[in-house]
């Protein structure tokens, strides 16, 4: 079971890639989030968010045991946070047309996750596995708000 938790926590090895494992984890889940969003809309992304959050809480202990507190190799929290960004985004179903939204959401999430502004640093201090997850969820909420705002402005200019 510990190997399975390790596999889930590293998002099937994405967190083991060199340099910036959180970025790799966030990037690795984008195709899955995109397919879920196109196929099942908001409800599918919401279910994915719930599942990845629960998996994050479940698998945290193994990564902490192997790597120490809030290990960078553990990226399931980034997967959950990245999914928040796309909860209410309506993709067209044309990958070329949707790449801007995917890239924008990815970059905004990484910006908020790395810099931790507006109280994100405070929620990161929640105890144990909750602090590891919640800061990414809040970063996802901020990125969602910004992506929605930018999308609304862009739509009004067209």
pLDDT tens readout for residues 83-106: 999 999 989 999 998 999 999 999
Global pTM reads: 0.94
Longest dimension (CA), the chain: 52
Mean pLDDT, residues 57-66: 90
Q: Mean pLDDT score of the chain, rounded to an integer?
A: 93
pLDDT band at 154 (very low <50, low <70, confident <90, very high): confident
155 vs 55, more confident = 55
Q: Where are the alpha helices (DSSP H) in the chain?
A: 2-9, 21-28, 30-67, 76-85, 95-115, 120-123, 128-157
* pLDDT attached to residue 46: 98
d(Cα 39, Cα 45) in Å, to the nearest integer?
Answer: 10
CA atoms within 13 A on the CB side of 126: 14
């Amino acid at each position: 079971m510990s190997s399975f938790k390790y596999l889930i926590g590293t998002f099937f090895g994405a967190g083991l890639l060199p340099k910036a494992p959180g970025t790799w984890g966030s990037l690795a889940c984008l195709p899955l989030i995109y397919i879920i969003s196109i196929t099942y809309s908001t409800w599918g992304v919401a279910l994915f968010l719930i599942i990845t959050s629960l998996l994050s809480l479940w698998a945290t202990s193994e990564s902490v045991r192997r790597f120490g507190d809030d290990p960078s190799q553990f990226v399931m929290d980034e997967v959950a946070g990245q999914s928040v960004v796309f909860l209410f985004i309506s993709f067209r179903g044309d990958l070329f047309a949707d790449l801007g939204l995917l890239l924008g959401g990815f970059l905004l999430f990484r910006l908020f996750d790395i810099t931790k502004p507006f109280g994100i640093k405070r929620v990161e201090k929640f105890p144990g596995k909750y602090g590891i997850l919640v800061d990414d969820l809040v970063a996802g909420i901020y990125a969602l708000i910004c992506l929605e705002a930018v999308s609304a402005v862009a739509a009004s200019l067209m």
